[in-house]
Structure 1
Amino acid sequence: MDMSEIHKAIKRGLSAFISEVPMTLSEWATEHFYLSAESSYVEKRWEAFPYQIGIMNCMSNDDITEVVVKKSARVGYTKMMLAAIGYFAEHKRRNQAIWQPTDDDSDDFVKTEVDPMLRDVKIMQRVFPEYLSRHRNNTLRQKTFLGSILHLRGGKAAKNYRRISVDVAHMDEVDGFDSDIEKEGSPVTLSRKRTEGATFPKQILGSTPKLRHFSLIESREQQAEKRYRFKVPCVHCGVVHEIRWGGKDAKYGFKWVNDDPETVVHVCADCGGAIAQNEFKVISAQGKWIDQDGGWIGNDGKFYNAHGEPIQPPRSVGFHVWTAYSPMTTWAQIVREFMSAQAKAKVGDKSELKTFVNTTLGETWEEEVEQTDSHALMARAEPFALRTLPMGCLVLTAGVDVQDNRFEVTVWGWGRGEEMWTVDYVVLEANPADERDWEKLDTYLETKFQHASGQMVAIEATGIDSGGHFTHQVYDFCRKRTAKRIYAIKGDSKQGSPVKGKASMQDVNWRGQIIKNGVKLWIVGTDTAKDLLHGRLQVLQNGPGKVHFSSDLPAEFYAQLTAEARVLQKTSTGEQYRWVKKSARNEVLDCTIYAMFAAHMLDLHRFTDKMWQKITDAVQPQTGDLFAAPIIVQQPPQDKPVLPPPEQIKPQQRRQIRPQGRTW
């Protein structure tokens, strides 16, 4: 046999033991990455901008588990993320997943970014030979490389986070995701779960921020162990400083003369010296990413403290970068965008100014939102005990939220004109996967509550959320209790959906087996119900529409009831108001909506005076129960004078006086 053939065979046999020379992502990209014609202004080899090097090296640093980039548009983040995908697949052979806000976003990303990258970055053909073929290893949802795999998913559905185990989890445009994915939690948390068990787990998050207090990317960036800003030395005083927009009253930042964008310069906050963009491009090569303590990141990917001493990398890092740092646009163009947005804002149209703040400055926009103050509601609490019904509270409904380790239940009482009272709020520890634990919920829902008249009142109807991990268990529980008016429900946040929507038959039992007679699944117009509740919470006068709170309720009840705000958002059909979570826990609000649905199932909102009077006579009759001790309940101040006793009213006056009770 020819010796050359023997050498080739030995080389092939030993190739599995070859170890790649370690490279940072910025080094790998400089050597291999390419900008494709379909998604770049200019088709060419990759050349990193100065601020991109530090971000990319943190992405490839195995000591860092989370990289958060709060950014504007036009800073090249998509290209950095694409380079990272190629790097982890070819250089480190690690499993990856990337989530986009929707399935359509994911498909477009694959077609316009991922596929051209796999075609044009030649070294990728070593690990992805099927890059030009129609193959099960090359689809819109999955790319199977030699030694690793890349999952590509939309982020709307909880199922898209399941059955995936990866080393690296990418999330693009995080603020475009729902804050709670089908009631299973934050998309950031769900994606992080997919890296548990990895030797070098990493989560890479990037997004243009949107609304303040509702921004996922801003929240993650603020929670990072170290937060970095790219600073350059001033050509006048030598002090390193951040390039900032400033403002009309600020002495630093962008300034221009006589509304002429071409005269724009950046003024140093320390010495007041001004530089033009061409000067900034020269000194930006000397810039560094500097944290809040004065530490910095070198272009070699190493970390240093404020004294220049090497230190261990932090576990999580946050970056903020905006358009002014990018050579892909001019400072004059940034000023033109601002002047145009400001002119529209002066006549009442703030949409362009909001876009400028989000996509040019890379900052969150402070939106005027509709929300209820939890402290104001708490201050309105009235001195009646939980688990008792004050006079006027006649019908009970309940809402149940099913969590992984508990049932949360809120019971509401109803009176004439849909006046509402909090009757009970409980958390039942349970494992909803265990059929026996549902007996706890069943037992509770059979509870009877004592009315101030001495009567005992049962829960008339209950709504149980079927979303989350225990859909079949909810169906099975409700199927066996249709006579008790216990309903399986699912929320629908579409604009204008009725509180009590349509029902559909479900035909799967507890064990996932098909059965002949399924249970009904009812659709609840959650945003409509929240609008209705929000309006009622503003009613201060006792009577129809008033919401009463017991002084026994904990502060957490009010925090969860007001955990969402109504904000204006862009949708496929234009701008619409949507209810958005501003804190993680909102179970009380959800349970209240489910109890409102149950009230609509009873048609309480359609009851006539005669129907209400019939219930009143049954629950709080004038004679009461002679054998029950009435509960003494202190009533809130009346809005109108209390009538004198009947014996003091003259016969001719009785026809002129209507009943003053605040009941049906």
Structure 2
Amino acid sequence: MSLEAWAAKHFYLSAESSYVEQEWRAWPFQRAIMAVMSNDDIREVDLKKSARVGYTKIILAKLAYNAHHKRRNQALWQPTDEDRDEFVKTELDPMLRDVAVMKDVFPAYMARHKDNTLQAKKFLGSMLHLRGGKAAKNYRRISVDDAILDEVDGFDADVEKEGDPFTLAAKRVEGATFPKIIIGSTPKLKGFSIIDTRFELADARFHFVIPCPSCGEAHPLTWGGKDESHGFKWSAKDPKTVRHLCPHCATLIDQGDYLRVCESGYWLSDDGLLLIDHAGVFRNAAGHVVPAPSHVAMHVWTAYSPAASWSDIVREFLAAMSKVAEGDMTKLKAFINTTLGEAYEQEVQRSDADELKQRAEPFPLQWVPRGGLMLLASVDGQDNRLEVTVKAYGRGCETWTIDHRILYGSPGEDEVWRELEEILFETEYPHAAGTTLRVHATAIDSGGHYTHAVYDFCAKHERRKVFAVKGASGKEKHIKNGAQKVDIDWRGRVRKRGVILWLVGTNLAKDLLYGRMQLERAGPGYVHLSRDHEDEFFKQMSGEVRRSRTTVRGEESRWTPIRKRVEAWDCAVYNLWLETHLELGRKPAKWWDELEARVQPAISDLFDTPPAQVSAPAEGPKPVVTKQGSKTSSGRIAPRRQAPSLASAEWAERL
């Protein structure tokens, strides 16, 4: 009995892990996948997939089929031990409960017994091992017939320097009469995707094709592109108009048309020489039955799923592209990975200092142009100085870098911290509307040799929204990548009200920053830079490049310095963390309206200065204002200044 036939007779979808609790009915494209998995002539099966194609349920059916029908030992690896535990609790245990025939081979079900744990399930005549994939020890001391690696792109490429996951798992099936390795995953980054590499190594690579309702020619469902003669097409940014264009006769079909012909579909190899029918039988181009290849790879994406709406796919894409327009590539990356089932191909990312300088604008430093409504500061510490960047934030996280200062002095001494206090808490920056702004919140890098000095400063000014941060590049999951208490008392215990160290997902933050710096038009996400910045500032802002490098976890793509000094770039990254922490990107329009009314109010009477008539001063000293009679960081007394006068007509128009 094949896996597909067994599942049709016995398998069941549990309420805890399915949209609808019901008996299993395989979708057309799933049948050959299941047949290939249960074909003893095929040793290796790779499935490069998107989300929502039912892969987890197929794996569950395979585990039950092996235990009940074939009585074969098997092992399943998830990316981590935590992933394994969640899989067992939410998927495997409910399946063992609801598939009635499993009680015939699993007497320990519902019993607290050594034969029923998160790490192993002992059936009559076979054993299922359940492991996390990131520890080399989890690949030892087991011998199985079937090895299954789930979401393999979440594994380390080199597991504790002992080899790649596939090689380690393959050792566990050596000596089996019918050895089989099944690898399935949603791909991630191009060049670093394990499933992508495995897919290319296969003897034959297959895609599911359907006959065109108009011309009868077979073709796969493809995403296509705006200028492609195939794939998804829609009009006027309306997802409801989406159709699929046949590459042979240019007929447009909707999802209903696809569902009517998908039963007649089959799997076709890339070279067109092999096909697989629903029963898993391999045939050549002439229709003759041929032996199955030893290593088979298959690709399927969300559009094939009857449970996914084509209009929702387009809607997801349009939402991702709206974020791209703001310099945020994360949603597009997720769309390519989890909806298209393809690896995200990231170009070598690098900004050029000369290009940044050419796009800089003629507004002076230490002055807030119209549109800037809130000031956020970031501080990078070195052994002999602190470097401070102040950015003005507006709607849609549009930013203006209005100040970058270097405070010379050892961070181990009080003087440099007093200067920092003056900038952060006393300095008032003139606004184009005639008001003034102070720094609202600050992030300070705690790395380096003066970590405790940073902690002391942050603890002292906690109520002024001063946060201690530290970069955590590598496998970060978010720009705001976690936090931990760091204050320890003399007994070695964490203080209840101690300083919190916030971790920054630096690679993700730099990806977002780089994307924003590529925007060509002012608006949400745009980064405005002043021409008054020194050349060194522009060099630092282009001082890193994203490239692959070897780490203890294997090859990884990271942002890497190409020059010694990149403090301005680091400060910009900490500003992004601060923006994320304060959730500025999620603030509603009403919140920005209220802030704008306070910072750049509309004219209330004839004696008010029209906001459009207040612009950057053409000449004169830097318009930094501190408390009356206080010293600036240069040691001068800075009196309160009037609003700056009108600049050139050209710049006034740009405001």
TM-score greater than 0.5 by the shorter chain: yes
1:169-208 matches, within 5 Å, as: 169-208=147-186
Aligned match of 2:258: 280
Q: Does 1:55 align with 2:33?
A: yes
* AA of the residue aligned to 1:346: A
Structure 1 CA distance, aligned partners of 2:236 and 2:548? 44
Q: Distance in 2 between matches of 1:50 and 1:251?
A: 26
Say which SS state the counterpart of residue 307 (structure 1) adopts: coil
Match of 1:626 in 2: none
Give 1:116-195 correspondences, 5 Å limit.
116-195=94-173
1:113 aligns with 2:43: no
CA pair 252-176 structure 1, distance change in 2 beyond 3 A: same
- Counterpart-to-counterpart distance in 1, 2:551 and 2:276: 33
CA contact (8 A) 2:348 2:547 kept: no
Distance change >3 Å, CA 82–CA 188, structure 1 → 2: same
Structure 2 counterpart of 1:188, which letter?
F
Q: Which residue of 1 aligns with 2:233?
A: 255
Aligned to 1:93: 71
Partners of 2:72 and 2:145 within 8 A in 1? yes
Describe the shift of the 1:181–1:496 C-alpha distance in structure 2 as closer, same or farther (beyond 3 A): farther
Tell me, in whole angstroms, the C-alpha distance in 2 between the residues paired with 1:238 and 1:496. Answer: 65
Q: Give the alignment of 1:227-246 within 5 angstroms.
A: 227-246=205-224
1:141-197 superposed Cα distances (whole Å, 9 cap, x missing partner): 000000000000111111111101110001110000011111001011111111111
Matched-pair contact (CA < 8 Å) for 1:293–1:306: no
Report the secondary structure of 2:20's partner residue: coil
Deviation at 1:584, TM superposition (A): 11
Confirm or deny that 1:351 pairs with 2:330.
yes
Q: 1:330 aligns with which of 299, 309, 313?
A: 309
Counterparts of 1:371-390 in structure 2 under 5 Å? none
Report the CA distance between 1:331 and its aligned residue: 0.1
- Look up the equivalent residue of 2:299 and give its one-letter code: H
- CA apart distance, 1:292: 2.2
Letter in 1 for 2:297: G
Alignment of 1:594-609 (within 5 A): none
Q: Secondary structure at the match of 1:310?
A: coil
Q: Distance in 1 between matches of 2:146 and 2:448?
A: 42
Contact persistence 1:24–1:301 (CA under 8 A): no
**Aligned partner letter, 1:28:** W
DSSP-derived class of the 2:206 partner: strand
Q: Secondary structure at the match of 2:161?
A: coil
Q: Tell me if the contact between 1:239 and 1:270 (Cα under 8 Å) persists in the aligned partners.
A: yes
> How far did 1:300 drift?
2.1
Of 565, 570, 576, 2:477 maps to 570
- On the 8 A contact 1:214/1:582 being kept in 2, the answer is no
CA shift in 2, pair 1:286/1:54, >3 Å: same
Whole-Å Cα distance in 2 between the matches of residues 44 and 206 of structure 1? 25
Q: CA deviation at 1:370?
A: 6.9
Gaps of 5+ in 1: 1-22, 372-494, 500-526, 532-565, 590-664
- Find the counterpart in structure 2 of residue 342 from structure 1: 321
Identity of paired residues, percent?
55
Amino acid at match of 2:79: P
Structure 2: give runs of 5+ residues left out of the alignment: 351-444, 450-469, 483-503, 509-545, 557-655
In the superposition, relative to structure 1, how do residues 582 and 266 fare at CA in structure 2: closer, same or farther (>3 Å)? farther
Structure 1: which 4+ aligned runs deviate by more than 2 Å?
Answer: 367-371, 495-499, 566-589
Deviations 1:216-264 (A, max 9, x none): 0000011110100000000111110010001111121111111111111
In the TM superposition, what whole-angstrom CA distance separates every residue of 1:534-571 from its partner, at most 9, and x where no partner exists? xxxxxxxxxxxxxxxxxxxxxxxxxxxxxxxx978526
1:306 to 267, 273, 285: 285
Q: Distance in 1 between matches of 2:166 and 2:139?
A: 10
Q: 1:370 to 1:198 in 2, by over 3 A?
A: farther
* Residue 316 (str. 1) matches residue 295 (str. 2): yes
Q: 1:247 & 1:587 partners in 2: Cα distance?
A: 34
Kindly state the Cα deviation for residue 125 of structure 1 after the two structures are TM-superposed: 0.8
Question: TM-score of the superposition, structure 2-length normalised?
Answer: 0.56
Whether the aligned pair in 2 keeps the contact of 1:93 and 1:148 (CA below 8 Å) is: yes
Aligned to 1:29: 7
2:245 to 254, 267, 280: 267
Taking structure 1 as the reference length, the TM-score comes to 0.55
- The letter of the residue matching 2:62 is A
Deviation at 1:368, TM superposition (A): 4.0
Q: Which residue of 2 aligns with 1:82?
A: 60
Q: Residues of 2 paired with 1:498 and 1:213: CA distance?
A: 33
Contact kept in structure 2, 1:368 and 1:567, CA below 8 Å: no
**Residue 588 to residue 355, structure 1, CA distance change in 2 (3 Å):** closer
Matching residue of 1:367: 346
RMSD: 2.9
Structure with greater Cα Rg: 1
Equivalent AA in structure 1 for residue 319 of structure 2: S
Alignment partner of 1:280: what SS?
helix
Residues 152 and 194 in structure 2, CA contact (< 8 A), matched pair in contact too? yes
The alpha-carbon deviation at position 209 of structure 1 amounts to 0.3
How far did 1:132 drift? 1.3
Shift of 1:361: 0.3
| Contact 2:206–2:269 (8 Å) recurs in 1 | yes
Letter in 2 for 1:285: E
Distance 2:82 2:257 in 1: 42
Count of matched residue pairs: 383
**Partner residue, 2:197:** 219
SS at match of 2:106: coil
Tell me: CA distance 1:158–1:319, structure 2 relative to 1, closer, same or farther (3 Å).
same
The residue matched to 1:38 in structure 2 has which SS?
helix
Identify the residue that residue 591 of structure 2 maps to in structure 1. none
